[in-house]
Amino acid sequence: MSKLRTGHIVEVAFWLLLVLFFFVYSFEFNQDIEIYKYGAAMWPRAILLLIAIAAIGQLLDQRRNGDRSSSNTMAKAHEDSAQESDNSSLGWYVSTFILLAIPFIYMVLPEKAASLMSVTDIAPGEAGIGRVKIICAAVLFAIYLMFSWRNHVGAILALPIFFAALLEDMGFYALAPVFIVGIMILMGERRINRMAMIMPFLYGLLMLFFVKLLYVGLPTGNVRPFYDFGNWVVTLLQ
């Protein structure tokens, strides 16, 4: 007998729609790379495929086992969120919508803000738009923290999208440590010493895998000082 609930189906549908959205978006930056025959979009698409497989696998597991399939850490995150806010209330759905909208707001807000502020150098990498992007990212991140404090589930769903939205401007090398720590906190980890050990290990493993072994050009960002930090890491590893 199926143990699926509407929430299970909605969650999996969300991830599959997200995969479809970014797969279509990948055609925007897909181009040939001289040192990598599969092109610039190969690895992002591979990651999207893994997300789709994981989402479908989760759906099949929940169909068989229901909510018992959740890990202890995820269950803890759900418990924290449930204690702080009723996840069936209108307010919970509104806060989840706001959290999911924040990354998409960032995609359009800096250029709109720059136009209103009469910033003339709005080309990527220019100083004026760079400052505007940093300010917009900081404000939206503060809003994200405010709503995630009482909605861990929505925050877990929104964080990867927010990370992807900031990736082009802030770069993978600067954002990855923040993303790793954020995921650990949202999944229920509270021990600072444990996070201080795990984050550098995972970060180093990602750098070794993508930069040293696969020689994949991860985004360095185009806003300073994130751009300078990304280039410094690449130079150090190569």
Angle at 140 between CA 137 and CA 144, to 5 degrees: 130
d(CA 12, CA 52): 9
Asked if 55 and 82 sit in the same domain, the reply is no
d(CA 186, CA 180): 10
| Structure tokens that stand for 33 in this block | 């790379």
Angle between helical axes of 127-148 and 152-170 (0-180°, round to 10)? 170
Asked if 28 and 112 sit in the same domain, the reply is no
Nearest by Cα to 224 from 121, 120, 127, 119: 127
In which domain, by residue range, is 209 found?
Answer: 78-237
Nearest by Cα to 163 from 186, 149, 182: 182
Using DSSP, state whether 36 is helix, strand or coil. Answer: strand
Last residue of a domain, one of 69, 99, 129: 69
Asked if 125 and 198 sit in the same domain, the reply is yes
Asked if 108 and 211 sit in the same domain, the reply is yes
Last residue of a domain, one of 14, 34, 69: 69
| pLDDT tens-digit series, residues 187-225 | 777 788 888 888 888 888 888 777 766 666 677 888 888
Asked if 122 and 218 sit in the same domain, the reply is yes
| pLDDT tens-digit series, residues 49-64 | 777 887 888 778 777 7
Asked if 94 and 209 sit in the same domain, the reply is yes
The answer to whether 159 touches 186, Cβ cutoff 8 Å, is yes
Asked if 57 and 147 sit in the same domain, the reply is no
Question: Computed from CA positions of residues 166, 171, 172, 178, in that sequence, does the dihedral angle turn out positive or negative?
Answer: negative
CA distances from 12 to 5, 23, 55, 137 (A): 11, 16, 6, 28
Going residue by residue through the chain (238 aa), what tens digit of pLDDT does each one get? 456 677 778 778 888 888 888 888 777 766 665 555 556 666 677 777 777 887 888 778 777 766 554 544 445 555 554 444 455 567 778 888 888 899 888 988 888 777 777 655 555 555 677 888 888 889 999 999 888 887 888 888 888 888 888 888 888 888 888 888 888 887 777 788 888 888 888 888 888 777 766 666 677 888 888 888 888 887 887 6
Which strand (E) or helix (H) includes residue 35? none
Last residue of a domain, one of 69, 96, 117: 69
Asked if 91 and 111 sit in the same domain, the reply is yes
Total number of domains constituting the chain: 2
Structure pTM? 0.62
User: Any long-range contacts for 8-13 (C-beta under 8 Å, 24+ apart)?
Assistant: 8/59, 8/62, 8/63, 9/59, 11/58, 11/157, 12/55, 12/56, 12/58, 12/59
